[in-house]
Structure 1
Amino acid sequence: MTPARPGPHPAVTVVGIGADGWPGLTDPARAALAEAEILIGGPRQLELLPPGCAGERVAWPSPLRPAVPRLLAAHAGRRIAVLASGDPMFYGIGRALAEERGAALRVLPHPSSVSYAAGRLGWPLEDVEVVTLVGRPAARLAAALHEGRRLLVLSADATTPAQVAALLRDRGFGPSRLRVLEQLGGDRERTAPPVTADDWAPDRPPGDPLNIVAVECRRAPDALRLGAVPGLPDAAYEHDGQLTKRHIRAATLATLAPAPGELLWDIGGGSGSIAVEWLRTHPSCRAVTVERDPERAARILRNAERLGVPGLRIVTGAAPAALAGLPAPDAVFIGGGLTAPGLLDACWAALPPGGRLVANTVTLESEALLAGARRRHGGELVRLAVAHAVPVGGFTGWRQAMPVTQWSAHKTADTLPGADR
């Protein structure tokens, strides 16, 4: 029996290419580029191709992402090859193309700079955290800083290593050791001698723009220790007293139960601590905090950047009016403004089935609202109390903090209006 012949390749092929250029490509990758009628890539990547690749060369415009559907549509029906750095599906253009084309996409990866770096350093890749600063703020690196961790930082350009060193010093990780690896896999490959962030010279000239920064994290002895779970020290936050305190915060995040990719509404942000620690649980988590006071909103932004989650979206305005137009949340936390007319009902209505709502209060008036919500929607009503040991003369006694009443509920299909009809 004659075996079935494979079908034709999709009209769009993505070819990963490294610093070694054409010589480092496989035969299938070379064939795809040679046969393409349209060659799309960055100027540096297109220059790596020999004259034998005769297709029309199209450089990506800036910004890149909005141009993807337009370029594909403009050249529809022709054989298109897209050049990408290293592995196209690892922080590369492959993601945007897959979102447009789905399975109708052929991907021919090349070893990524991360794979090269791990090999050069002798670091098992499964033990390394990768942080990209390409098109992203350097502040997001702060969330990955933990004693003893190894990081590989994907650089945006030649200035990124100095930015990394400065951030490490500012966040109390000045003793961390850095190595800059340039042009990995190419004939101009170079690994700079290791240096600590504290010893990084301010006048050090920038190196090659095609680089990756390896970081071995070391925390300074006097630096505040920030763990990987909710309940960061209160001292980690800039605040004016409007702060969900550490132990209540940890209990609140446990009840909210963040999961990868989920979106939180944090109503009455205060210092932003609930939204910040929601985001720190996983890089794909998202959060919007709503705060009516502009000064506090600015403070939330500073806390988010310092603690490594600069992607926190801040809406300055009073809820519930400020909630209009926000994407539907997976969870809602109400830490302030419970007595605003219609707020609790608006938040409950915004939740899809499976969504969670958690509200905290210390006042009797708001507590009555939460008791009414429990009667209507079910859920759990608890009182959280924390006491701290303090000096009492020559002895030690307990000082009780104000107890917090917390209502939490999951929204199910049975709780939707008309569900029993």
Structure 2
Amino acid sequence: MAEAPWITIVGLGEDGPQGLSLASRTALESAKIVMGSKRHLDLLPDLKVKTVEWPVPFADGIGLLRGLTGRQVVVLASGDPFWFGAGSTIAREFTDHEWCALPAPSTFSHAAARMGWALDQTTCLGLHAAPLSRLRPHLAPTARVIVLLRDGDAVHELAAYLKDLGFGDSKLTVLEALGGPRERVTPATVGALNDGFCHPVCVAVEVAGQGEAMPKASGLPDHFFASDGVMTKRPIRALTLSALAPRPGEQLWDIGGGSGSIAIEWLLSHPTCKAITVEPRGDRAANIRANALALGTDRLDVIEGSAPAALEGLPAPNAIFVGGGLSEALLSTLEAAVPTGTRMVANAVTLETEALLTAWQARKGGDLMRIETAHAAPLGQRRGWKAAYPLVQWSGVL
């Protein structure tokens, strides 16, 4: 017979005890200890059991909770604990039989109800502990976004961010303490905001303006990436990403990151995708981090070092892109080190690396493709084709 869970995660709304379900009330009545932030504990002032304030940063509370093993603990969380809440962290740190959860309506549900928005057609982001740039891929005229923010100052930071990107015509609705006695809903614009907004706060954004939306197809225009000139250009990048074929939840190794464009677009393909970029030059590694942050993919893991040595100990990949540092030693190391079935794409520009991929394809199979592109450019008083260096691409399964 399975052990009964000793941790109960209770979703709590701003109306405090009034909004609790019967199951949540029962859990609180039978608890030996209640853990939560000061704000959550203050919403339940009449608790008759021992209370423990969850510390800041949040991760420090996991050790405290682990020290209470077996003592019937209720952990208080905001609304739905598994929508940008504490639930996923606790579930990751404890086994399934140790915890259960009793959710309440999320802030997103409350906000959508106030706005009259279809929640399934609205982007919902928790940015209380994340950079505002995670908004970037979602900014397009007519888009609707609900954003959780850390405090009132962050509302003004959000407005400034939208204005800087050319979305200064966006309509904002600031929603504070939804569902409780302090609830306040304030319509505003990017250019006209009141002061004095208080936590907990979220903002409903109706995006408008002349800012440039990020295309959803592979191959972002090159100007989205800051670069010292070393990067996989848009047409080649589109073909490379097509060959890499990202799928939800997959891990990419991007070897020879350059500007990070391949890894960043891999991450943009799906929110659960993961990527590691290996780049030997410190200045380029710093540039990759800046590009990833600006384009909403700050989860990109950038490793400063040279392959294959820098690959040791990394999580196993589902796909590999070799954009720099191509050698026979690297190819042999990758073939020996990664799981069978790993997809790989390698691009070569020089005669030496082209010969390497030609020989590799002869031995290992896969597809070998020569890509030649040319762009119209001035030629005297007329125009002609200016060719880029031809590129050879090998793609296959190791």
Distance 2:260 2:180 in 1: 45
- 1:106-130 Cα offsets, whole Å, 9 max, x none, are 3211111000000000000000011
2:33 to 33, 38, 41: 38
SS of the equivalent of 2:43 reads coil
Q: How far off its partner does 1:370 sit?
A: 1.1
Q: Quick check: 1:177 aligned with 2:164?
A: no
Q: Quick check: 1:389 aligned with 2:376?
A: yes
Q: How far off its partner does 1:324 sit?
A: 2.2
Partner of 1:121: 115
Q: Quick check: 1:88 aligned with 2:93?
A: no
* Alpha-carbon distance change, 278 to 391 in structure 1, aligned in 2, over 3 angstroms: same
Partner of 1:352: 339
Partner of 2:357: 370
TM-score by length of 1: 0.89
Contact 2:345 2:396 in 1 (8 A): yes
Distance 1:213 1:80 in 2: 33
Partner of 2:230: 242
* Alpha-carbon distance change, 350 to 157 in structure 1, aligned in 2, over 3 angstroms: farther
Contact 1:230 1:249 in 2 (8 A): yes
SS of the equivalent of 1:88 reads coil
1:189 to 153, 161, 183: 183
Partner of 1:132: 126
Distance 1:347 1:67 in 2: 40
Partner of 2:195: 205
2:152 to 148, 158, 161: 158
Partner of 1:11: 6
Distance 2:192 2:370 in 1: 50
Distance 1:66 1:261 in 2: 28
Partner of 1:333: 321
Partner of 1:168: 162
1:27 to 12, 22, 27: 22
Partner of 2:254: 266
Contact 2:34 2:76 in 1 (8 A): yes
Contact 1:176 1:215 in 2 (8 A): yes
Distance 1:135 1:288 in 2: 22
Distance 1:230 1:308 in 2: 16
SS of the equivalent of 2:27 reads helix
Matched residue type, 1:207:
F
1:310 to 268, 293, 298: 298
Q: Quick check: 1:75 aligned with 2:62?
A: no
Q: How far off its partner does 1:66 sit?
A: 5.2
* Alpha-carbon distance change, 402 to 131 in structure 1, aligned in 2, over 3 angstroms: same
* Alpha-carbon distance change, 261 to 390 in structure 1, aligned in 2, over 3 angstroms: same
Contact 1:87 1:110 in 2 (8 A): yes
Contact 2:10 2:24 in 1 (8 A): yes
* Alpha-carbon distance change, 251 to 7 in structure 1, aligned in 2, over 3 angstroms: closer
Contact 2:9 2:77 in 1 (8 A): yes
* Alpha-carbon distance change, 264 to 44 in structure 1, aligned in 2, over 3 angstroms: same
Distance 1:160 1:86 in 2: 21
- 1:319-365 Cα offsets, whole Å, 9 max, x none, are 222222222211111111113x6222223333222211111111110
Distance 1:28 1:401 in 2: 67
Distance 1:377 1:161 in 2: 55
Distance 2:38 2:233 in 1: 51
Distance 2:53 2:375 in 1: 62
* Alpha-carbon distance change, 397 to 329 in structure 1, aligned in 2, over 3 angstroms: same
Contact 1:22 1:50 in 2 (8 A): no
1:61 to 55, 64, 83: 55
- 1:72-98 Cα offsets, whole Å, 9 max, x none, are 432222221111100112121111222
Distance 1:168 1:405 in 2: 41
- 1:203-238 Cα offsets, whole Å, 9 max, x none, are x53411200111112241xx4442012211111111
Listed as ranges, the gaps of 5+ residues in structure 2 are none
Distance 1:67 1:165 in 2: 33
Partner of 1:284: 272
Distance 1:230 1:161 in 2: 32
Matched residue type, 1:93:
A
Aligned residues: 397
1:215 to 180, 205, 218: 205
